[in-house]
Amino acid sequence: MARVLIVEDEDSLRETLSRYLAHEGHEVIAAASGQEALDAGFDASPDVLIADWMLKNHIHGLHVSEVFRALHPRLNTILITGFPSRDLLEESDRCGVSRLLEKPFDLQELRDAVMNVLAEAPGDPVVAPAGPSIAALSVDAGGALQFASERATELLAAVGAPPGAAHLDEILAGEPPDVLEAAEREWVPVQSRHDPRQEWLLRSRRRPGRVGWLVVLCLRDEEQRRSDPRMRILLDERGGASGRSLEDPAPVVVIERDGVVRRLLVSQIERLGAICYPSDDLASALRLLEAEPRVRTVMVDFTLAGAEMRRWSSRIREQRPEATIVGTGGVGAESDLLAQGVARVLRKPWRINDLIAAIDP
């Protein structure tokens, strides 16, 4: 049948889904978090990813899907969610998600979703990945190559590396162990053993629970790709490319009327190392707070709340008394805005330092 990677942080649900799909004849790999899924499935080349949108730690289901599709462009994703908002539907489409499975669902619905995406799997991906593919390798402690993504295979072939190369020192000039050690701290330039004119940038990280390395390559003229969020997630780099990050990267809920501003806030907050859940109304935001107990900051658009801002603040505090409410936008004196029940004000237009100060003063 197929190789299916399941990432679900609810133990009982993960076990139920795993047992059912294994009984259906699939090879199942199960993970309890986004990072665990990336490590477990990186070199397993899954055919189908089944991921819950809301996951523990700093990586949610769409992040997992984006990274895997950058490694395996023909991967089909089934995203599980209890919050099928317009934003999530649009973002799922952008990320090439094949199916959205809304909670609660029964096992027959899951089976049908898996069979449907597998029927679409042959050939080129139905939806292109959201960005260029990532050249990544898996290397054991001795430097033996265990896995190469499609993009990595293309890069190696372009410089004349032998198709059956079995060891890193057949590809790179220099001493691979020294290169891997140095690249764990920063991107380092490396040369192809077969074409010294070809220089790559290389970054590595040790694989937890395994003896070996995950290695990412990019061309020298693609240097800007080092800030690609998918690449940074794969390398488990926290914070923005500039090194700025939140001291307390707890999830943030954003309630914002303007879709462009909402997406910008989500993007910037996640670049700072925190998961961000968007909403354009109070009711769905309260449901998100109920489902995600780690949220400590709620950002509310003054324009969206309007004259109801004080009531909105009270409702949020009833749901999450310890939450910090940040009012975004607003007109008039800051003291008047603070009197509407918010703890801080983030004026528009804001800069990244203003955003950091509002969430993590």
| Range among 71-85, 125-139, 307-321 rated most confident | 307-321
pLDDT in tens, 133-165: 999 999 998 889 999 999 999 998 888 888 878
Q: How far is CA 42 from the centre of its chain?
A: 14
> What pLDDT shows up at residue 16?
97
CA separation for the pair 276, 298 (Å, rounded):
10
User: What integer is the mean pLDDT of 214-228?
Assistant: 90
Q: Do 306 and 226 fall within a single domain?
A: no
> What pLDDT shows up at residue 322?
95
Q: Do 153 and 215 fall within a single domain?
A: yes
Domain end call among 95, 120, 145: 120
Q: Which segments of 210-264 are extended strands (E)? A: 212-219, 252-255
Q: Do 185 and 270 fall within a single domain?
A: no
Q: Would you say residue 240 lies in a domain? A: no
What pLDDT band is residue 361 in, cutting at 50, 70 and 90?
Answer: confident
Mean residue pLDDT of the chain comes to: 90
In this model, does residue 46 exceed pLDDT 70? yes
Q: Do 7 and 84 fall within a single domain?
A: yes
pLDDT in tens, 105-115: 999 999 999 99
In this model, does residue 239 exceed pLDDT 80? no
Q: Do 142 and 188 fall within a single domain?
A: yes
Q: Do 109 and 139 fall within a single domain?
A: no
Residue 94: strand, helix, or coil: helix
User: What integer is the mean pLDDT of 101-123?
Assistant: 88
Q: Do 268 and 304 fall within a single domain?
A: yes
CATH number for the domain harbouring residue 61: 3.40.50.2300
In this model, does residue 359 exceed pLDDT 90? yes
Q: How far is CA 307 from the centre of its chain?
A: 36
Question: What is the domain extent for residue 32?
Answer: 3-120
Q: Comparing 117-131, 137-151, 211-225, which segment has the lowest mean pLDDT?
A: 117-131
Q: Do 111 and 147 fall within a single domain?
A: no
The alpha helices in the chain, defined as continuous H runs, are 11-23, 34-41, 61-71, 86-94, 107-120, 150-158, 176-183, 229-234, 259-271, 282-291, 302-305, 309-319, 334-338, 352-359
The long-range contacts involving 236-239, CB below 8 angstroms and separated by at least 24 positions, are 236/35, 236/205, 238/58, 238/273, 239/271, 239/272, 239/273
User: For the chain, what is the domain count?
Assistant: 3
DSSP string, 104-164: S--HHHHHHHHHHHHHH-SSS-SS--SS---EEEEEETT-BEEEE-HHHHHHHHHTT--TT
Task: Dig out the tokens for 51 from the structure.
Answer: 């991921």
Query: Helix 259-271 vs helix 86-94: angle between axes, to the nearest 10 degrees?
Result: 60
pLDDT in tens, 284-324: 999 999 999 999 999 999 999 999 999 999 999 999 999 99
> What pLDDT shows up at residue 194?
85
CA separation for the pair 62, 64 (Å, rounded):
5
Q: Which residue from 41, 28, 102, 101 is spatially nearest to 71, judged by alpha carbons? A: 41
Q: Would you say residue 242 lies in a domain? A: no
> What pLDDT shows up at residue 129?
57
The residue behind tokens 């942080």 is 9
Q: How far is CA 59 from the centre of its chain?
A: 5
In this model, does residue 124 exceed pLDDT 70? no
pTM given for the model: 0.86
Cβ 254 vs Cβ 248: under 8 Å? no
User: What integer is the mean pLDDT of 277-281?
Assistant: 94
- For residue 156, what are the CA distances in angstroms to 97, 179, 180? 29, 17, 18
Q: Would you say residue 162 lies in a domain? A: yes
> What pLDDT shows up at residue 242?
55
Q: What b-and-e string marks burial along 199-228, b requiring 16 or more CB atoms within 10 Å of the CB? A: ebbbbbbebeebebbbbbbbeeeeeebbeb
